[in-house]
Amino acid sequence: MTRNRNRKDQARQLQRETGSRRAAASRAHDTLKQRSRPVQGLLAEASAAVTAVDPADVPGILLAAWQAVCAVGAAAELLAECAGTRDYRGRFRLAGQPLSDAVEAMRAVPALRSAPAEVNPAGGPAEQLNGPEAENIRAAIVAACDALTVALGRVPPGIRPPSAARACRAVARSARLISGIYQAPVVPPADDGGAAAGRPCYLDAGTPDEMGAAIVAHLRELLSADPADITAALTAAWYGFSLALALGQFLASRSADLAVLHENAMPAWAQVVSAMDAAPALPDGVHGLGLDTVPDADPALMVLAYQGIHDLTLALNALLPQVSGHASYPADRAAATECTALAAELGDCYAGRLKTFLNPLGRPPGTTSAVIRTQPRDSGRRRRPASGRPAPEPGPGRLPCPRSSRSTIMPSRWLLPGLLARAPRPGRCLVHSRSVDTGREMTAIRIGGTGHLLIVTAGDAVQITRETEPGETGQSAASDRHGGDGE
């Protein structure tokens, strides 16, 4: 029995391996066929397949829509890499979120979880597209998205499973957005007369005066830039980021602790370069910056570089929101908005506040997140009352603290009786708050069941102040009662 069972297991394993090899061979064959075809043909084939399928055929319409989405994504990426303009790179970044939403919704359908997503058309980064070829691909993308919108709009609303209905709605919405992105007019490249390309590649930073002058010059440019002049403002932001990156590399090569902070900031730096490079208003020819400095870890240079990073990120965080408000093209507006958040992220990284890159949820840099504020656990905190029982009243030494406000700063536990205006607990001494600086010796005593405050004056007299009851006004010192040596 055991021998037969083992043979059956081996036969099943062989069948699975054979099926996997055949599936891999089939995918490789399809990939080779795709590489020999231009992306315009793949888009036209996907549009025809989506249009010809019966809307009532749920598996057929989903598979055709999946192939169309993959072809649109491949064509958009091909344009971004091979067209050679920031306009198409900006369009691809704008279309990234709708494409991601469509893929995520379709992957939730059980029938599409293992569907292949590899699309490798003819062409590559080494084969640049000219203007007419890029326009043909852009028109094919628009046609494929419009075909998707029309075909998915004819799908009955009550199809099963529910994930298929959600996927159809999400893909139709994403197709409309992508079609609008690629239907927009072509943005001409920015022209600043070669001023951005003519800047020096290396800055003198061998002495504290030289490094300070370089940082101050870029700060002055960021603070005086006109947000309405998008090209000049984005150029200033680009070189501000470049100088901050060079300062971070300067610190990382001279301090092991600061190298950790710079390494944590590298994901944000990659996002900054990608976002700024997709802004059509950024002129061609911009480049990075380097520092012509000494190899030693000069403490004065280290302090200047560390403070310069924070000053530059603060100035960038103040300039870029204004640029986003004045930008007329969506890609420029998106780049300025994203880099605003990334400037704040970089400042947090070099300050050691790693709430982004050590996030267990894997939030990418630059996106919105909620900061969770908690308090250390108090061992003396009373437990929550059982269901149906009233909560105990707070004692005279504690203020009521609702559960929704435990993250706020509460007053000191023991304050002056005249300020709290509460009766002391019987049989308990009133303790003077050490956080109150009066310049005199003070203590609290009880006389005849009433709390009194003793104040030692500048002379040899001791003044007594009676505790204020609720609703009463403040009491002055009792001048008719003075303490002697025996009291």
Instruction: Read off the amino acid at residue 224.
Output: S
Window from 205-209, 313-317, 383-387 with minimum mean pLDDT: 383-387
Average pLDDT (340-365) is: 70
Same domain, 110 and 217: no
Q: Which pLDDT score is estimated for 217?
A: 94
Q: Is residue 83 part of a domain?
A: yes
pLDDT tops 70 at residue 381: no
Q: Is residue 356 part of a domain?
A: no
pLDDT tops 50 at residue 303: yes
Q: Which pLDDT score is estimated for 188?
A: 83
Q: Which pLDDT score is estimated for 438?
A: 40
- What's CA 216's distance to the chain center, in Å? 28
Window from 137-146, 255-264, 476-485 with minimum mean pLDDT: 476-485
pLDDT tops 70 at residue 298: yes
Q: Is residue 368 part of a domain?
A: no
Same domain, 162 and 252: no
Containing structural domain, residue 435: 415-487
Q: Which pLDDT score is estimated for 466?
A: 65
- The three-state secondary structure class of 409 is coil
Q: Which pLDDT score is estimated for 365?
A: 53
Q: Is residue 9 part of a domain?
A: no
Query: Which among 332, 354, 336 is positioned nearest to 267, based on CA atoms?
Result: 354
Exposed, middle or buried: residue 212 (CB in 10 Å: 0-12, 13-18, 19+)?
A: middle
Q: Which pLDDT score is estimated for 425?
A: 38
pLDDT confidence tier of residue 480, bands split at 50, 70 and 90: very low
pLDDT in tens, 414-453: 333 332 333 333 333 333 333 334 444 445 666 666 666 6
pLDDT tops 80 at residue 383: no
Q: Is residue 274 part of a domain?
A: yes
* Beta bridge mates, 451: 446
pLDDT in tens, 141-153: 999 999 999 999 8
pLDDT tops 80 at residue 354: no
* Beta bridge mates, 441: 456
pLDDT confidence tier of residue 390, bands split at 50, 70 and 90: low
The count of other CB atoms within 10 Å of the CB of residue 254 is: 17
Instruction: Read off the amino acid at residue 6.
Output: N
Same domain, 104 and 156: yes
Average pLDDT (59-65) is: 89
pLDDT tops 90 at residue 235: yes
Q: What is the mean pLDDT of the chain?
A: 75
- What's CA 163's distance to the chain center, in Å? 29
Q: Is residue 365 part of a domain?
A: no
Query: Among the residues of 351-385, which ranges form H helices?
Result: none
What percentage of the chain has pLDDT greater than the value 70?
A: 66
Average pLDDT (216-242) is: 93
Exposed, middle or buried: residue 93 (CB in 10 Å: 0-12, 13-18, 19+)?
A: buried
Tell me the C-alpha distance between 433 and 411, whole Å: 11
- What's CA 84's distance to the chain center, in Å? 28
Question: Residues, the chain, total?
Answer: 487
Same domain, 126 and 254: no
φ, ψ for residue 365, nearest 5 deg: -65, 145
- What's CA 396's distance to the chain center, in Å? 45
Same domain, 158 and 223: no
Q: Between these two residues, 211 and 356, which has the higher pLDDT value? A: 211
- The three-state secondary structure class of 136 is helix
Same domain, 55 and 147: yes
Q: Which pLDDT score is estimated for 374?
A: 38
Q: Which pLDDT score is estimated for 22?
A: 62
Query: Which among 96, 70, 78 is positioned nearest to 38, based on CA atoms?
Result: 78
What does the block give as tokens for 262?
A: 């710079």
Tell me the C-alpha distance between 280 and 332, whole Å: 6
Window from 266-270, 322-326, 382-386 with minimum mean pLDDT: 382-386
Q: Is residue 195 part of a domain?
A: no
Q: Between these two residues, 383 and 264, which has the higher pLDDT value? A: 264
**What pTM does this model have?**
0.64
The secondary structure of residue 297, as a DSSP letter, is: -
Average pLDDT (158-165) is: 86
Same domain, 277 and 245: yes
Q: How many structural domains are present in the chain?
A: 3
Same domain, 172 and 217: no
pLDDT in tens, 168-183: 999 999 999 999 999 9
Same domain, 36 and 161: yes
In this structure, which long-range contacts are made by residues 385-391, counting pairs with CB atoms below 8 Å and at least 24 apart in sequence? none
Q: Between these two residues, 58 and 409, which has the higher pLDDT value? A: 58
Contacting residues for 437 by C-beta, under 8 A, at least 6 apart: none
Tell me the C-alpha distance between 34 and 21, whole Å: 20
Tell me the C-alpha distance between 332 and 227, whole Å: 12
Alpha-carbon dihedral 142, 143, 149, 155, rounded to 10 degrees: -160
Same domain, 281 and 133: no
Same domain, 140 and 41: yes
Q: Which pLDDT score is estimated for 481?
A: 47
pLDDT confidence tier of residue 126, bands split at 50, 70 and 90: low
Q: Is residue 388 part of a domain?
A: no
To 10 degrees, what angle do helices 208-224 and 230-252 make?
Answer: 150
Query: Which among 78, 57, 85, 47 is positioned nearest to 175, based on CA atoms?
Result: 47
Same domain, 237 and 175: no
Tell me the C-alpha distance between 443 and 431, whole Å: 7
Q: Where does 178-322 show beta strands of DSSP type E?
A: 202-204, 290-292
pLDDT confidence tier of residue 102, bands split at 50, 70 and 90: very high
